[in-house]
Amino acid sequence: MATYRVLVSDPISEIGVAALNAHPDISADFKTGLPPEELISIIGEYDALVVRSQTKVTAEVFAAAKKLRAVGRAGVGVDNIDRAAATDHGVIVMNTPTGNTISTAEHAFTLMLSTARNIAPAHAEVLAGNFKAARKAYQGIELNGKRLAVLGMGRIGSEFAKRAQAFNMKVVAYDPFLTQSRADELKVELAESPDIALNGADVVTLHVPLTDDTKHILNEARLASMNPGAIVVNCARGGLIDEPALKAAIESGHIAGCGLDVFEEEPPPADHILFGLNKHVAFTPHLGASTNEAQENVGIQVAEQIRDFLATGEIRNAINMPSLDAAALAEVGPYLDLAGSLGKLLAKLGPENPDSLRVSYHGPLAKKDTGLVSRKALTALLSARRSDGQVNIVNAPAVAQSMGLDLTESTISAQTEFNELLVAELRKGDQRFRVAGTIIGKSPRIVEIDRLFVDTNIKGEFLIVKNDDRPGIVGAVGTLLGSAQQNIANLSLARNKSDGNALTVIEVDSPLSAELMDSIRSTPGVLSATGVSL
Ligand SMILES: NC(=O)c1ccc[n+]([C@@H]2O[C@H](COP(=O)([O-])OP(=O)(O)OC[C@H]3O[C@@H](n4cnc5c(N)ncnc54)[C@H](O)[C@@H]3O)[C@@H](O)[C@H]2O)c1
Ligand SMILES: O=C(O)CC[C@@H](O)C(=O)O
């Protein structure tokens, strides 16, 4: 029986489903068109879910998905997935951002051309036998020399702009993340706001995600600021346009027409307010990504991402946590293990109810892709301190935030005594407790506890003793361990000359009983003793 079960609930390419099933540890079920209640009733059996845009992955679905670890979206927009609920439930959400870029840019461009030259209504008239009348009714516009506003200059917006430049259009772009140097590289005018971009534009094309900020980004005032006879193109999400405002602007004649692939409600009702317009319009049923090439790309990409995540832990294109590709995983993998052990150690030895966990990276490690390493330390810390078993690497920052615990990170390129050093420090007011580790050869080692140098494995059973730095105490503890049949696998000693204390880390073969721990704690000269399972 396969170790991991994947539910594919929307049509993706057969090659993608086959790529999942080809892995010996994965079995994929292909069940599309499930009503919401049926999805909720079966989702508990699955480790991963693959969707396009039809399946709505709601908070109720996540609540029922007890084993679910990842949702893969074969496409870009993830507005059909409740991202907050996914994160709360510790589920990674991944998309396939590049697979349908060209197809969607080409489709949006097709809609612009169709609208400018009235292809859709003229075609209908020809079929209806109105050839002559249609020749008079459908006079189009040239795009040559026209001003094009692109809202959202990401992957698709940039591809659209390149094609528009080949048509000799003047491109002005608004995107809050577009820098002047990137705008220069793309040879587009950078607008400081959507209002500036749209003012005097002859065509607008939308390529932004639908968020609370972008909902109805194309509204009545912005439509009114465009040039008379302008065209609206939307191949992103319907909710970006205030549809009643667009209808009014087309009816008034100010906007000549629109080419839309997407609607605020999908599928749109048969009596949608824009369908009654006997004007220059072109509508398609959310076909932007529907090409053989795009579907093969996104189907294969999503399948490979889910397969690699389940099989190896590699994270690509995650939208609710940092990604970690195979190369980065190979480079920082040992530090992930180390961070987990440092987090557990802090949970046992550090202050209760801390204010913050500070993770710092020293030496060449500071330049590596360590986004997940800090999370791993935080996850281990929280998991060890909470009994609900609900913390994982996806939701750890949200859980920490709800507990008032800050996670901070710093990178220090100067080297320490070690070439690279990972330090995790728990802070509470002025109190600080830090532990640190490094990689020696290929092995992660814990090399510092509470500012004292030690050298221990990162996995195993440990006894950590703080004692007066005088002869006989370690011997007495060793005798107690021996009489309890506890073999010592490794021992590391450190002394703090300034306060006369010493730290002894003893690796043993099995967990120490409460009775033995009590005897160790009552040994004269022992200041504290803690058993830790790493
Ligand atoms: N019709 C389809 O079938 C289809 C296919 C693919 C993608 N899409 C849609 O197209 C959208 C864009 O896809 P992409 O691959 O280009 O994504 P992308 O992430 O590469 O680009 C989106 C751009 O929007 C910008 N942006 C964010 N907020 C903005 C705002 N308030 N104003 C202006 N720009 C803003 C971002 O900075 C980014 O550069 C997706 O979100 C998806 O909804 C639709
Ligand atoms: O799955 C589809 O066909 C639509 C995809 C598209 O809306 C996207 O956001 O990638």
Supply the pLDDT for residue 385. Answer: 86
Q: Is the pLDDT of residue 388 over 80?
A: no
Supply the pLDDT for residue 470. Answer: 87
CA atoms within 13 A on the CB side of 177: 7
Nearest to 52 by CA among 319, 261, 291, 302: 302
Give 279's pLDDT tier (boundaries 50, 70, 90): confident
* Dist CA 24 CA 306 (whole Å): 14
Element (H, E) at 476: helix 473-483
* Dist CA 386 CA 463 (whole Å): 22
* Dist CA 409 CA 401 (whole Å): 15
Give 277's pLDDT tier (boundaries 50, 70, 90): confident
CA atoms within 13 A on the CB side of 250: 22
- Is the C-beta atom of 107 inside 6 A of ligand 2? no
Q: Which residues are registered as beta bridge partners of 291?
A: none
Domains of the chain and any CATH numbers = 4-99+294-312 (3.40.50.720), 101-283 (3.40.50.720), 323-458 (3.30.1330.90), 460-534 (3.30.70.260)
Q: Is the pLDDT of residue 155 over 80?
A: yes
**In the chain, pLDDT over 90 holds for what percent of residues?**
88
Q: Which residues are registered as beta bridge partners of 528?
A: 466
- Stronger pLDDT, 534 or 323, i.e. the higher one: 534
Residues 6+ apart with CB under 8 A from 423: 358, 359, 360, 362, 434, 435, 436, 448
Give 153's pLDDT tier (boundaries 50, 70, 90): very high
Nearest to 303 by CA among 4, 3, 28: 28
- The string of pLDDT tens digits covering residues 182-220 is 999 999 999 999 999 999 999 999 999 999 999 999 999
Nearest CA to ligand 2 atom 9: 77
User: Quick one: DSSP state of residue 314?
Assistant: -
Supply the pLDDT for residue 327. Answer: 87
Q: What is the mean pLDDT of residues 50-60?
A: 96
Q: Is the pLDDT of residue 495 over 90?
A: no
> Could you identify the atom of ligand 1 that is nearest to the CA of residue 108?
1
224 touches 242 (CB < 8 A): no
Report residues whose beta carbon is within 6 angstroms of any ligand 1 atom. Answer: 75-77, 97, 100-101, 104, 151-157, 174-177, 207-209, 213-214, 235-237, 261-262, 286, 288-289
Give 390's pLDDT tier (boundaries 50, 70, 90): confident
**Distance in Å, CA 156 to ligand 1 centroid:** 7
| Helices and strands, counts by H and E, the chain | 18, 22
Give 325's pLDDT tier (boundaries 50, 70, 90): confident
Quote ipTM for the complex. 0.99
User: Ligand 1, from 53, 73, 76, 153: best to mutate by most atoms within 8 Å of Cβ?
Assistant: 76
Our measurement of the distance from residue 482's CA atom to the centroid of its chain's CA atoms, rounded to an integer in Å, reads: 50
Q: What is the mean pLDDT of residues 361-382?
A: 93
Active site residues: 237, 266, 286
Q: Which ligand is nearest to the CA of 174?
A: 1
- The string of pLDDT tens digits covering residues 234-249 is 999 999 999 999 999 9
